[in-house]
Each structure stands twice: as C-alpha cells, then as structure tokens.
Amino acid sequence: MTIAPLPTGLGVRTRLVGDPGGLLELLPDDRNPLSWVRGSDGLVGWGEVARLTVTGENRFAEADSWWRSFAAGLHVSDEVDQPGTGPVAFASFTFADSSPGSVLVVPRVLVGRRDGVAWITEFSHADGPSAMRAVTPVRPTGNLRFADGLLPVAGYRKAVAEAVRRMRAGELDKAALAHDLVAVSDAPLDPRFLLAGLARRYPTCWSYSVDGLVGATPELLVRRAEGTVSSRVLAGTIWPGECDDLPGQLLGSVKDRHEHALAVDSLADSLRPLCASLSVPDTPSVIALRNVSHLASDVHGTLHRQAPASLLQLAAAVHPTAAVGGTPRDAALALIAELEGMDRGRYAGPVGWMDGNGDGELGIALRCAQLDGPIARLFAGCGIVADSDPDTEVREAAAKMVAVRDALEDSGQD
C-alpha cells in the first residue's frame, strides 16, 4: 500500500453553482483528468489532494478502510448533501489480484451535476485559495500508428479456440478473453480529446478517466445510493452487418442467452448475501450502441439495514462477474491468465467514484485505453462459451475496439 503525504488542517466545502455547461469542457490540461460523466450529468475533477495505491486480493478492503478514515478526518461543509457531494474519491482497480496499480484519487476541485442541480467541491487548507484553473484548448491526437500489443489478433484467435476446446471437454462454462492493441502518436495524447470523442459518440455510456485510464463503459458494475444497490449486466453481443433484425437475432440466440444468464446468475449470487431483497429480471432487454448491441439486465436490491455494505465492499463481493471473468470463477481466471499471457492492468476492473457516505458508482472498465504520453494501449474482449466460433469472436472484439479507435482519430465528423 502506498499513500501520498497528506496536508494538515484539510477542509472541504460543497456549494451550489449555476449551470456549469458541459462538464468535460471544464477540465484543464491535466495529465490525469478525472471524469465520470453520462450525458449531461456526472462528476469531473482535477488537481490531487490525496492518493492511495494498493495491490493484492485485499485491495478493496484496504482502500475502503483508508477512505473511511480519510473522509472521517476532514472538516466538511456540504450545502448540497446529495450522493457525490462532500469528499469524493475517484477509483480504478486492477482486474487481477496480483496486478499493481489499483488507485484512489481525491481531486482538489470537483464539479458535479445531477437532474439539473450543479455543485462544486473544493479542498483547501483552512481558507486557502481556490484551485480553479484556466482551460486550454484540447489537443487533437494527430497522426497515429497502430501496432500489435502483448496479445495480437492471431494469438487471440488461438486462445479462443483453445478455450472453446476446454469448455467442450467440460472443464468450465465460460471465460471472457481479451486482447490489446497499441496506438502511438507523434506527441503526448490529450486525455480530454479521447474523453470528448467517446462522450459524443456514446452519450448513454459512462465516460470515465482515472489515472490515465480513459474509456466509455455501458456496463454498471454496482451503484450504491442511500441503502439500495443496482447493477446493469451486459453479456451477449451483436453488431451491424450481422443481420437486419439485430434485437430479434440477439434475443433469439441460444449462445448469447446462455452467456448472459451465466453473467446475471454470477452477479445475483454474489449480491444476495449482502441484500435484504434482490430483484432479478426473468428475461434480458437489448441496448443498442453506436458500434454494437448487447443483452442487458438491470438488477436492483435493498441492502441490509444493519451494517450495510459500502460501495467497495459490494465491489469486492461481485468482481469479477462472469461477464468479464467467467464461470466457475476460479477456473476461468486461471484460464484467462494462462491463455492471454498478459497483464490486463485496470482493463475490465471496477472504475468510478465514491463519496464520504459510502455511496457511489463503479462501472466495468471496458471500451478503454491506458494512456502514457504518446502511447495508448487499447483493449477489447468477448465472453467465450462452448458454442463460440473463434473467427466470430475476433470480429466481435474488433467491433468493440472501434469505439476507442474512432474516438482517438476523431475528426469531429460523424
């Protein structure tokens, strides 16, 4: 565990503000802007008051303990008193227990909006000055060169074929396999450019940025709000060109319905011990995005009133779901590590925010790239079951990767 030094006498104030305009347009030129935005609502932040990095299977518990202690020690003035006001930390966790780099970042300044109500939260030393910064123009990406990542397409196809062989032999039911792609620019990439391109193209997704991981996810791992919990499970995918009736084809697909059921059951089984009640839909719906359509199920529950689980306790219970891990979980994770042969980092891990009351939202870090100066490492993956076809899964991963590729190269024209 690594904790950045904290200043003494730390205070935080949240106050109402008028319409701030587009939230992403407020972000200054910062190497690591912070964002969790969907449509016109969400949170953006910049500057850094505190940072925690953790590694290992206890990373959620360690982060939860640190955040509770940090928030309890603050002098808080909250004139809005809604989820997302007062002290807030942005979070991004690694997919695997052994991967380094899970992080909590507490911004110096945060601007939020929900349902027409907007606020600003600022940290200060006693009555210190505001940390508002001038916003400089967003830098376009420029020329890009693409190269194979740690697992190129040919290796990914081979991994899928081997996973299918083992599933047909009865070793496991599902595994979510991924591969990566590297993009290199002539100059350092501006995270705000990728964020804006993703948000414009995918307004119903959560556009996020935490410590260089930038993406737009359609999948909500877990939301905690005033004693309730909810989650949106996505599994089963189709993309334009596959057929004329995408929703009908997807809902009628035995393979996709089976994959989706495994993911929903995995999440529900993990949440039930923490809930007084849990509602799970009998059949999925279809959500259509610009590049793909998914089977979706929205799960809702009420937490136990006595010692209700915090957001990070919920995340520890459900991650990784079968949507990004597999079933049975341990067998799937072992297969992923073996066949992918790469560190996913924070791809497919929980990403989002939490406040001082333990409320917040964590999505699954999908449709994303890890930015490092002029280099972007893109990821995409698919749920593999016994009926999967390796060539089809390669095409599905390519369709998913289009989201970030197009946003990186975005000319502003659709």
The pLDDT, as a whole number, for residue 70 is: 95
The pLDDT, as a whole number, for residue 8 is: 63
Which CATH number does the domain housing residue 342 bear?
A: 3.60.120.10
The pLDDT, as a whole number, for residue 127 is: 43
Q: Kindly report the three-state secondary structure assignment for every residue of the chain.
A: CEECCCCCCEEEEEEEECCCCCHHHHCCCCCCCEEEEECCEEEEEECCCEEEEECCCCHHHHHHHHHHHHHHCCEEEECCCCCCCCCEEEEECCCCCCCCCEEEEECCEEEEEECCEEEEEEEEECCCCCCCCCCCCCCCCCCEEEEECCCCHHHHHHHHHHHHHHHHCCCCCEEEEEEEEEEEECCCCCHHHHHHHHHHHCCCCEEEEECCEEEEECCEEEEEECCEEEEEEEEEEECCCCCCCHHHHHHCCHHHHHHHHHHHHHHHHHHHHHEEEEECCCCCEEEECCCCEEEEEEEEEEECCCCCCCHHHHHHHHCCCCCCCEECHHHHHHHHHHHHCCCCCCCCCEEEEEECCCCEEEEECCCEEEEECCEEEEEEEEEEECCCCHHHHHHHHHHHHHHHHHHHCCCCCC
What whole-number distance in Å separates Cα of residue 247 and Cα of residue 264?
19
- Nearest CA-CA partner of 102 in 43, 68, 61: 61
Q: How many residues does the chain have?
A: 414
Our CA angle for 2, 360, 108, nearest 5°, is 55
What whole-number distance in Å separates Cα of residue 17 and Cα of residue 117?
8
- The reply to whether 139 falls in a domain is yes
- The reply to whether 362 falls in a domain is yes
- The reply to whether 413 falls in a domain is no
- The reply to whether 414 falls in a domain is no
- The reply to whether 193 falls in a domain is yes
The pLDDT, as a whole number, for residue 248 is: 87
What whole-number distance in Å separates Cα of residue 239 and Cα of residue 222?
26
- What tokens appear for 230 in the block? 């909810």
For residue 184, count other CB atoms closer than 10 A to its CB.
14
- The reply to whether 24 falls in a domain is yes
Looking only at the bridges linking them, the beta strands covering 75-78 and 10-17 are: parallel
The pLDDT, as a whole number, for residue 5 is: 56
Domain span holding position 259: 2-408
What whole-number distance in Å separates Cα of residue 68 and Cα of residue 206?
25
The pTM (predicted TM-score) of the whole model is 0.94
Question: What total number of domains does the chain contain?
Answer: 1
The pLDDT, as a whole number, for residue 243 is: 62
Q: Calculate helix-pair angle for 254-271, 311-318, nearest 10 degrees.
A: 130
pLDDT tens digits for the chain (414 residues)?
776 656 667 899 999 999 999 999 999 988 889 999 999 999 999 999 999 999 999 999 999 999 999 999 999 999 999 999 999 999 999 999 999 999 999 999 999 999 999 999 999 854 444 555 667 889 999 899 999 999 999 999 999 999 999 999 999 999 999 999 999 999 999 999 999 999 999 999 999 999 999 999 999 999 999 899 999 999 888 887 666 677 888 999 998 999 999 999 999 999 999 999 999 999 999 998 888 899 999 999 999 999 999 999 999 999 999 989 999 999 999 999 999 999 999 999 999 999 999 999 999 999 999 999 999 999 999 999 999 999 999 999 999 999 999 999 875 544
What whole-number distance in Å separates Cα of residue 366 and Cα of residue 378?
10
Tell me the catalytic residues. Answer: 174, 219
